[in-house]
Structure 1
């Protein structure tokens, strides 16, 4: 089958049309015929050797994907032909973290066993998935919209971690890639209007305009000159230096939501006295523990007003076009690249 395969030892990405097709191995397995599979910022870090991933053998990446059930194990609850989306993360269900409902902290599962990072993922025509990580799509949600369910599930977890986010709070979103845009749609959908988006790449700001939220869109130099204070800052850049700079823009009692995934090598210097004096809160957000149902609910409620590829700056590519997809992402002419495999 067609696949975009990553060699973790050589840090090399390649396209092939002869990768072994996924097969049922366990009674509760589901074979998903992939239709939409996203390229995440984490994937870019993996390809550059900045984020841990499997080095056991070359395998397809891709932890954000949706599609149709192609085959099932004899004990599966799913049926061939069902439209589904896959949660790439799961619990070991045995450690204290997992049994308390916090599998994002699990040392064995969670981010340490993610489909598309440690196991064959969705950058392929077919993918084998345990049924516990498969969700049937409700009526009205397309597989195209569901291609964004995984990042929305992460935003949902971040939204819960940062709550309460009071309507009327002065909010700053740093970074207008796809994650920044998903936060923009989420905040607007929940009634927030006093929101500023800061992004260095003006092409990305042009994309945000298509969402028609009325939010203020600026570049970081404007932010620095204003030296304004914000009640909530949501960092979607994944750059340690950005946090160091923007931390100074927090108001008394403010919250800094560190959402973008920084490479482990990044360092940030913040003033502990300022944290004390202003009673500041730093909030980390890691993956999406049990937040897929909420993400599906959001997508159903938001509909095409928000979950629209054109408005969000999302572009689709064939698997064989992976090099162009990566190049377009890096230049910022698209906010998100997904493989369309139909």
Structure 2
């Protein structure tokens, strides 16, 4: 068995500056998870392309979306045992700063995204991962390990729903982007009873795949979206949820918002990209622009969402998810870039 002190980056750093006794105390709270499924996120592609920050002082194993089985626990781990099926929240704050004490660990400058498993610590694109007990969540019997690989993106979606709610039934909603996040948003909204939803996506293959979910939503290309807007000035939406991270799509969505409309920025755009918006339009329409960053205290909600959505919504084929062995990572990444799949997940 791989030992904890040879795997965890942060323990390696602690070893340089602290006594053996302190190191041993730290190692008591960790557990080793044998990875079953690990997702490839759009953020991973940005990291590979050099457009998103990650651990820069040496090699890093990516993978911040994963599920697996506990194979070893530290002696002070009390809530888990070997054999438990789990999903792992990759994010945690320092639990000491003002942001953390105010309930916003995702803004933490020491923790937050700066210590994310799979971005700043070795992650799930590997056979084993070492995780702090506080970041591991036990799965209910009704949830498969396959479905649990979607807990992390659904936890971010849950945070977004918290920020934008209430969305009253009957409101008109636009989703831009039919990658996995756009598809999961569509599923979550359908589960809640929403039916007046339009999904805009330039890749026709992705739109065709989304039809498998049988949601009854209006699935169109951005060109058709523009034509509808041109033909009817009242073709407007109460909510726009951008899952593309593509600035021109965001700008177009703003122009389609009705008075009192809300724009949710969920997709991650490259940090150097900009959008243009009229301050007068924000004033005149009383628009609200809502950013959504990761998953503060919403991971437990994602497990409830997975249980509620079940195979009706989380069938991998219907969602456009491709399963790959880890050795085929290049094929998985290329398929994602081409848009022939909505998401890649490694099956270990």
The answer to whether TM tops 0.5 is: yes
> Partners of 1:222 and 1:239 in 2: how far apart?
17
> Partners of 1:226 and 1:106 in 2: how far apart?
43
> Partners of 1:265 and 1:57 in 2: how far apart?
25
- Report the counterpart of residue 251 of structure 2 in structure 1: 244
Name the one with the larger helix percent: 2
Deviates more, 1:186-195 or 1:297-306: 297-306
Q: Is the 8 A contact 1:22 1:31 kept in 2?
A: no
Q: Is the 8 A contact 1:154 1:286 kept in 2?
A: yes
- Report the counterpart of residue 109 of structure 2 in structure 1: 107
Structure 1: runs of 5 or more not aligned: 2-19
| Root-mean-square deviation (Å) | 1.4
- Report the counterpart of residue 20 of structure 2 in structure 1: none
Q: Give 2:153's match in structure 1, choosing from 140, 151, 155.
A: 151
Structure 2: runs of 5 or more not aligned: 12-25, 230-234
- Report the counterpart of residue 314 of structure 1 in structure 2: 321
Aligned with 1:316: secondary structure?
A: strand
- Report the counterpart of residue 260 of structure 1 in structure 2: 267
Aligned with 1:296: secondary structure?
A: helix
Alignment of 1:218 onto 2:220: yes
- The CA deviation at 1:108 is 1.2
Higher-Rg structure is 2
- The CA deviation at 1:279 is 0.5
Aligned with 2:185: secondary structure?
A: helix
Alignment of 1:89 onto 2:91: yes
- Report the counterpart of residue 42 of structure 1 in structure 2: 43
Q: Give 2:286's match in structure 1, choosing from 279, 294, 302.
A: 279
Q: Give 1:133's match in structure 2, choosing from 122, 132, 135.
A: 135
Aligned residue pairs: how many? 323
Q: TM-score, normalised by structure 2?
A: 0.91
Give runs of aligned pairs for residues 25-36 of structure 1, distance below 5 A. Answer: 26-36=27-37
- Report the counterpart of residue 341 of structure 2 in structure 1: 334
User: Which segments of structure 1 move beyond 6 Å, counting only runs of 4 or more?
Assistant: none
> Partners of 1:121 and 1:315 in 2: how far apart?
20
Aligned with 1:59: secondary structure?
A: coil
- Report the counterpart of residue 184 of structure 2 in structure 1: 182
Q: Is the 8 A contact 1:21 1:126 kept in 2?
A: no
- Report the counterpart of residue 303 of structure 1 in structure 2: 310
- Report the counterpart of residue 68 of structure 1 in structure 2: 69
Q: TM-score, normalised by structure 1?
A: 0.92
- The CA deviation at 1:66 is 0.3
> Partners of 1:131 and 1:330 in 2: how far apart?
35
- The CA deviation at 1:21 is 7.4
Write out per-residue CA displacement over residues 170-227 of structure 1, whole angstroms, 9 at most, x where no aligned residue: 0000000000000010000000000000000001001110111000000000111111
- Report the counterpart of residue 14 of structure 1 in structure 2: none
